[in-house]
Amino acid sequence: AQKITQTQPGMFVQEKEAVTLDCTYDTSDQSYGLFWYKQPSSGEMIFLIYQGSYDEQNATEGRYSLNFQKARKSANLVISASQLGDSAMYFCAMREPYSGNTPLVFGKGTRLSVIA
């Protein structure tokens, strides 16, 4: 079964508008971590935001916020005031359990295109 599901292969957003990228996850662990990464065409993986399973408040990092709904097992990324430079692939990832050196498991990604 897929651990991380990103149902939007591609999204378009107007510059300066907000956009939500969907992510749902599957785990039976109580302790886990959720991540979002941005991958521009150069290939580098840029860390955006992190949410721990025990964090009660939604994570925020500048224009990025994570809408964490634990009961629904969703961790959507919200980008506010989109910029042309936000055009890239966005990956949701999970680390479980939240201990030791376990690898990240990635979703299939969403390609975001910001339109001027």
Which residues contact other proteins by CB under 8 A?
33, 35, 37, 42-45, 47, 50, 52, 91, 95, 101, 103-109
Q: Which is nearer to other proteins, 37 or 86 (CB)?
A: 37
The structure tokens listed for 43 are 């290939």
Q: Which is nearer to other proteins, 52 or 97 (CB)?
A: 52
Q: Is 49 exposed, middle or buried, given 0-12, 13-18 or 19+ CB atoms closer than 10 A?
A: buried
For the CB of residue 17, give the shortest distance to other proteins in the complex, in Å.
Answer: 25
- In whole angstroms, give the CA distance from residue 38 to residue 36: 7
For the CB of residue 40, give the shortest distance to other proteins in the complex, in Å.
Answer: 11
Q: Which is nearer to other proteins, 16 or 70 (CB)?
A: 70
Q: Which is nearer to other proteins, 85 or 103 (CB)?
A: 103
For the CB of residue 79, give the shortest distance to other proteins in the complex, in Å.
Answer: 19
Give the residue from 74, 113, 95, 89 showing the smallest Cα distance to 40. Answer: 89
Task: For residue 78, give every residue at least 6 positions away whose Cβ sits within 8 Å of its Cβ, in sequence order, or none.
Answer: 18, 19, 20, 21, 64, 65, 66, 67
